[in-house]
Structure formats: structure tokens, C-alpha cells
Amino acid sequence: MAPPESYLVIGGAGSLGEVVVQQLLARGESKVSIYDALPLAPEQHNRFGGFVQSFVGDLTAADNTFEAALVASEATCIIHCGMVVTPTSQAALYPAGPLPFFTPAQRKAQSDALRDLHRKINTDGMRRVFAAILQGGSTVTQMVYISQADIVFDGSHKPMLREADAQYPAKIWDDMLEPALLGERMVLSFNGVESLRTATIRPAAPYGPGRNIANSIRELQAKPGIATLQIGDNTNLVDRTYVDNIAHAAILAADRLSPVHPNHKATVGQAFFISDASPRPLWDFLRDIWSSVSSLPRGIPTHISKTPIYMAAGFVDMINNVRGKKTNAFKRMQFLCATRTYDISLAQSVLGYAPIVSYEEGIHKTAEWWLQQQLKLCQSRRVEPVQPPLYDPEENMYISEKSPFF
């Protein structure tokens, strides 16, 4: 029997990483460590802080925090979440107060900064990870990287795409997907180097508690009519993956990277598509979220023809390109209106993967998280009522005569 693994979860303080940590602890793992850019939130520390080692550092900085964490944790298996926690994402996951509203320009700036950060994490930071692993004295023998399924999107419909048919596009379709593409390619390229074993998980359209869904719900609260909008006839299906299912698949892959596992050879060097196994029309997602949060019935859809939207998006791109400000509005519309579903049979047969949370349950859990956070905020701001003085019959004997209602 193989000795128990010692796990180091990179990005373990984020919305995905904390679920990986929780699932590892829930199945009895006693050696679990976290490396992330920020300390654990108080809620996370209360939940599992006493059972894990937490290391704080910047993967892209010229220091030795990661190398020290690798030695101190005695890690044999790394699960890399592909991202790190930021002040904004931590505040959205565990808000200490009402989140500020940002203008579209501010949201765009935040999105660009997050993309650039994750690009550095998955390039410079990833090179540092492998340098630390491959230097003498490291105990790491296996690594699972959590990527994204849509990194292979090339602008065309992809119904039930299989791993064998998926090719990396000549140019990434969406800049926000580029960090995951760069990270995946590097992780798979190191498989077999000095006996290191690697694999990647490709979840389709991840969702669950966190910054992105919080922003979407707040927009829906301000403008509920957004939930009814749709471009086209809403027949293009997409797969989605709840965060618990992503963590589950990553741990299954880590188990099968062990040389003693019967599916070891089929796992090493492989990328696996996963999802909730419940393809839905793209525009139904926000409606399902809003209906679950508000307890209101889904409204009647407002159809917008694709043709004028495509023309407007192309015109916007043309004008901005002339001005020297490149935009990808047309490509974004193609992405939204395409079918993007994935065949998960390889993950099922090799990893033994099956969703542990259904799409319906994932929607409910996401809405429940949001409502619980709002309740906590309301309770934290509640002012205790002022207690009235005790009744004195002598002092109040003529109260009825003084009353304006007498």
C-alpha cells in the first residue's frame, strides 16, 4: 500500500481552492497545506485553519516563500487552482460590508488587471513552481492543474467535444482564457521530466460562490430585466461545472497519478473535460440564478436578433481599431452564441468521475451562499433597539388624558 500523500494546494484560499481543501480534509487527509497570495479569511480559518498549514507569498516575486513552503509542507502532490486569491475576490467571497458599485470602465480595468495577474501566475509563477519541484530535495512527484474547457474554442460550434478532437487554437479566442491555456500547456509539457507526473482538469464554464457570480447577482438586483434578455433563439447549449465537481475531479486525478493506481498510465499527461453533465441553453443560466435568489418566476424572454448585434459588434471593433484601441466585441458575440458542450466519458472511465452536485443543486447552493452572506451583512449592521424605561404607575397615571387619542 502506498504511503499517504502530502498535498499543497496553490490558490487554496480562493473560492475553488477552499473547496479542494475541504474535500481533502473530509476524506481524512491529514497533510494538507495552502499556498496563496493572502492569508485565510477569518471564516476559512475557523473552518479548517487548525487542520492545515497556510503559507502566504507571491509566486511571481523574487523571494523564497514558495520554496520554503514546499520544504515545510513536505508536499508530494500539488493541486494548482490556476489562480490566486486577491483582495477583491476575497471580499466578494466573504464580504465584511456592502461591496462597492463600479462603473463599466472600473470593472474593465479590474478584469484586465486580474487577467494580467493570472497570466503572470501561469507563466512566470509556473516556471518558478517547476524550478522548485525539480531542484534537489523536493518531495513532489505529481501535480494536477485546473484549467478550463473553453481554452480550445476556435469560434465554431463544439457539440460534445472529445479530448481526442480538441486542438489548441492558433490564437486564443478570449484573452481571459489565455492564462489557463498557458498554464495547461506548461504543466503537460513537464509530464515525465525527472519522473514528475502531471495531468489537467478542464471544467466547462465554472460557477459557484465568488466574485463573478456576486457581480452578476448585483447587476440583476439593480436591473432584473437583464435576466430576460437573450441574443438569438437560445438554442445554443453550453456545459457548466459547479465548483464542488471541479475539486472532486482534481482529487480523483491526483489519486490516479500514483503509480500504484490501475489507471495510472491512462491519467499521466492527460487533460480531462468535466462538467455537471447537464447542457443547458446559454441564456438560461442567469434566469435560473435570479429565480433562485429572488424566488420569483422566470420572466418571459426578450429576444434580440443576432444579425443587428453582430453588425453592431463588428462596427464597434472597427471604430476602436481605427482609434488604436483594440476590442473583440464580435468575437465575444460569437463565443456567447456558440454551442460549447463537452464529452466527459474519458473522465468517467479513467478518473471514475461523476458530478457530485447536479446543475439544479449547484444553482441552489450558489443562491443560498449569496443570501446567507447578505443576511450576515444585515445582522452585522443591525442596531440594538433602545429599551424603554420601566413603567411607573405613579408617573403615568394620567397618560390617557395626555394622549392625543383620548
What are the pLDDT digits (tens) for 17-68?
999 999 999 999 999 999 999 999 999 999 998 899 999 999 999 899 999 9
Give me the mean pLDDT over the 105-121 stretch: 89
DSSP structure class, residue 261: S
**For 250-264, what is each residue's pLDDT tens digit?**
999 999 999 999 999
Give me the mean pLDDT over the 225-251 stretch: 95
pLDDT of residue 19: 98
In a domain, 225, yes or no: no
In a domain, 229, yes or no: no
pLDDT of residue 124: 95
In a domain, 397, yes or no: no
In a domain, 130, yes or no: yes
- Measured between alpha carbons, how far is 141 from 89 in angstroms, rounded to an integer? 31
pLDDT of residue 49: 81
Does 386 have pLDDT greater than 70? no
In a domain, 313, yes or no: no
pLDDT of residue 377: 87
Percentage of the chain surpassing pLDDT 70?
93
- Measured between alpha carbons, how far is 289 from 285 in angstroms, rounded to an integer? 6
pLDDT category at 347 given cuts 50, 70, 90 is very high
Give me the mean pLDDT over the 326-352 stretch: 95
Q: What is the helix (H) or strand (E) element at residue 53, kind and residue range?
A: strand 53-56
**For 170-209, what is each residue's pLDDT tens digit?**
888 988 999 999 999 999 999 999 999 999 999 999 999 9
- Measured between alpha carbons, how far is 273 from 346 in angstroms, rounded to an integer? 8
Does 296 have pLDDT greater than 60? yes
Number of folded domains that form the chain = 1
Give me the mean pLDDT over the 366-375 stretch: 94
In a domain, 398, yes or no: no
- CA dihedral sign of residues 129, 240, 16, 58: positive
Give me the mean pLDDT over the 303-321 stretch: 93
In a domain, 295, yes or no: no
Phi then psi for residue 235, to 5 deg, are: -100, -10
Under DSSP, is residue 354 helix (H, G, I), strand (E, B) or coil? coil
Does 406 have pLDDT greater than 50? no
Does 387 have pLDDT greater than 80? no
pLDDT of residue 286: 93
In a domain, 300, yes or no: no
- In sequence order, which residues have a C-beta less than 8 Å from that of residue 5 and are 6 or more positions away? 29, 31, 76, 77, 254, 258
228 is written with which cell numbers?
430576460
Half-sphere exposure of 75 (CA within 13 A, CB side): 33
Give me the mean pLDDT over the 228-256 stretch: 96
Name the average pLDDT for the chain. 91
- Measured between alpha carbons, how far is 406 from 70 in angstroms, rounded to an integer? 79
5 is written with which cell numbers?
500523500
pLDDT of residue 404: 36
Does 140 have pLDDT greater than 70? yes
* Burial tier of 63 (Cβ tally within 10 Å: 0-12, 13-18, 19+): exposed
Does 100 have pLDDT greater than 80? no
**For 392-404, what is each residue's pLDDT tens digit?**
555 544 444 433 3
Domain residue limits at 148: 7-209+238-276+341-357
For residue 305, count other CB atoms closer than 10 A to its CB. Answer: 11
pLDDT of residue 62: 85
Render 119-142 in DSSP notation, one character per residue.
Answer: HHHHTHHHHHHHHHHHSTT----E
DSSP structure class, residue 164: G
Does 230 have pLDDT greater than 90? yes
pLDDT of residue 388: 56
- In sequence order, which residues have a C-beta less than 8 Å from that of residue 221 and are 6 or more positions away? none
Does 382 have pLDDT greater than 90? no
